[in-house]
Amino acid sequence: MTVRKSERPAIGRLGKSSPGFTKTPVLGKNTPIAKTTPRPSKRPAADAVQNKNFAATWPLFGDAGPAFPAHPATTVHQLAPPSADLAALAGQPSPPSETAKDAERQRRRLPSALRGDAPEWLRAATSLAEWLDERIEKGSVEPHEQAAIARTWAAFCLGGATEPQILRVAHIVQRAHTAIRESPRGHQDLQAAFHAAAGVLHSGLPTVFKQRMPLERVVYVVRRLREEADSWTAIVQGTTELLGWTDYARVHAATAIRAVLERSRPR
């Protein structure tokens, strides 16, 4: 397989976390990783949550960021709104469906200057460029708009991963998937196999990702690889986890959802 040099613009290493993400909790070395996402015992204190900067998402630019959490649900928990807000949301009547005015506003985001038979990528790129130009000229954005820009940038930059790094991680994930699926099924032997495979997988990661990805998280990935019979699905899921893309997706989604909830709150 030939790997072409990426045509994406050169960027810095994976970005520093934005305010509110500077201290990502990492579970201890002896913390067991469950097969399913455990429910947290309690949410972060409401005042601590409210003091976070939810207008920004992570990461964009800067030096190497903080370690990814040992368990994938951690980033979502950090962005949980106060329990009172969730209780109020549950008690509200169902929001109205999209109005014709909303649909028309969404339709107008597509530039009218382009012909209807223009390629979709061209219509999307032109629309996005015009949307960004408007906000650059304005010099400010709403929180939900900043969250959208962060999601777009993280996707465009592939979370800071280069094509050779993606290929390497996919390759070692495939080997780990084959090895763990062929491992003995005895409970004690299987637990040892999880940790052995995770150690090999972790040591094979590109340096920038190995420094940020806790070994406990790699054990979690190996457990999932064991449960997945399809090789391609395993490669996609494992590579996505180890490159941090699932963390970016979760934190950006949580930020966008929280921004919408904040906007809908009665003034």
**Lowest model confidence (mean pLDDT) among 26-30, 96-100, 120-124, 195-199:** 26-30
- Position with higher pLDDT, 107 vs 187: 187
- Evaluate if residue 265 carries a pLDDT over 50: yes
Position 149 scores a pLDDT of: 86
Q: State the pLDDT confidence band at 49, using cuts at 50, 70 and 90.
A: very low
Supply the mean pLDDT for the chain: 74
* Calpha distance 142→259 (Å, rounded): 9
Position 157 scores a pLDDT of: 85
- Position with higher pLDDT, 213 vs 102: 213
Position 34 scores a pLDDT of: 40
Position 80 scores a pLDDT of: 76
Q: State the pLDDT confidence band at 51, using cuts at 50, 70 and 90.
A: very low
In angstroms, the Cα distances linking 31 to 28, 69, 100, 219, 237 are: 5, 12, 52, 11, 23
Q: Is the preceding omega at residue 59 within 30 degrees of 0, hence cis?
A: yes
Contact between 141 and 260 under an 8 Å Cβ cutoff? The reply is no
* Calpha distance 203→199 (Å, rounded): 6
Helix axes 187-203, 163-181, angle to 10 degrees: 160
Residue 170 CA, chain-centre distance (Å), reads 18
Question: Which letter, b or e, does each residue of 194-206 get, where b requires 16 or more Cβ atoms within 10 Å of its Cβ?
Answer: beebbeebbebbb
* Burial (CB count <10 Å: 0-12, 13-18, 19+), residue 146: buried
Query: What does the pLDDT look like over 127-149, one tens digit per residue?
Result: 899 999 999 999 998 877 888 88
**E strand or H helix at 9:** none
Q: State the pLDDT confidence band at 27, using cuts at 50, 70 and 90.
A: very low
- Position with higher pLDDT, 14 vs 189: 189
Query: What does the pLDDT look like over 193-234, one tens digit per residue?
Result: 999 999 999 999 999 899 989 999 999 999 999 999 999 999
Highest mean pLDDT out of 25-29, 80-84, 85-89, 202-206? 202-206
Mean pLDDT on 239-255: 88
- Position with higher pLDDT, 54 vs 58: 58
Question: And the tokens for 140?
Answer: 């400010």
- Model confidence pTM above 0.75: no
Contact between 216 and 31 under an 8 Å Cβ cutoff? The reply is yes
Contact between 261 and 86 under an 8 Å Cβ cutoff? The reply is no
Position 104 scores a pLDDT of: 63
Position 152 scores a pLDDT of: 87
Position 95, amino acid: P
Position 59 scores a pLDDT of: 52
Position 251 scores a pLDDT of: 82
Question: Which letter, b or e, does each residue of 66-90 get, where b requires 16 or more Cβ atoms within 10 Å of its Cβ?
Answer: bebbbbbebbbbbbbbeeebeeeee
Which residues have C-beta within 8 Å of that of residue 263, sequence separation ≥ 6?
Answer: 144
Proportion of the chain above pLDDT 70, given as a percent: 65
User: Radius of gyration over alpha carbons of the chain, in Å?
Assistant: 21
